[in-house]
């Protein structure tokens, strides 16, 4: 995750429907925080994750989470 978009350095709160998602780690996507396949020349790969029921999630944008693509709070933000 060391090449991911770190513009904000804060978790990204999203409410997602059930499905398979791909978190961009290269920062080149025009559809951040999701991968749009723009990573091909970057050497980065997206992180696949699955949502089984509609819920609010917090995606890591600092690149330090041990639970990527989810924020684990090591950025200093307390999650609800």
Q: Using CB under 6 A as the criterion, which residues of the chain lie in contact with ligand FES when the complex forms?
A: 10-11, 24-26, 28-29, 35-39, 44, 46, 60-62, 64-65, 71-72, 74-75, 77
Residue closer to ligand FES (CB basis): 21 or 28 = 28
CB of 6 to ligand FES, least distance (A): 9
Across 1-80, where does the E strand assignment appear?
12-16, 19-23, 47-51, 55-59
Residue closer to ligand FES (CB basis): 42 or 55 = 42
CB of 44 to ligand FES, least distance (A): 5
Count CB-CB contacts under 10 A for residue 48.
11
Q: How far is CA 25 from CA 12, 39, 47, 55, in A?
A: 14, 8, 7, 22
């Amino acid at each position: 995750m060391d090449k991911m978009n770190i513009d904000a350095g804060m978790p990204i709160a999203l409410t997602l429907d059930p499905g398979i998602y791909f978190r961009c780690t290269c920062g080149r996507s025009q559809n951040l925080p999701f991968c749009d396949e723009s990573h091909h020349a970057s050497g980065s790969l997206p992180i696949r994750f699955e949502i089984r029921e509609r819920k609010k999630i917090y995606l890591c944008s600092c690149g330090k989470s041990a639970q990527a693509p989810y924020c684990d709070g090591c950025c200093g933000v307390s999650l609800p």
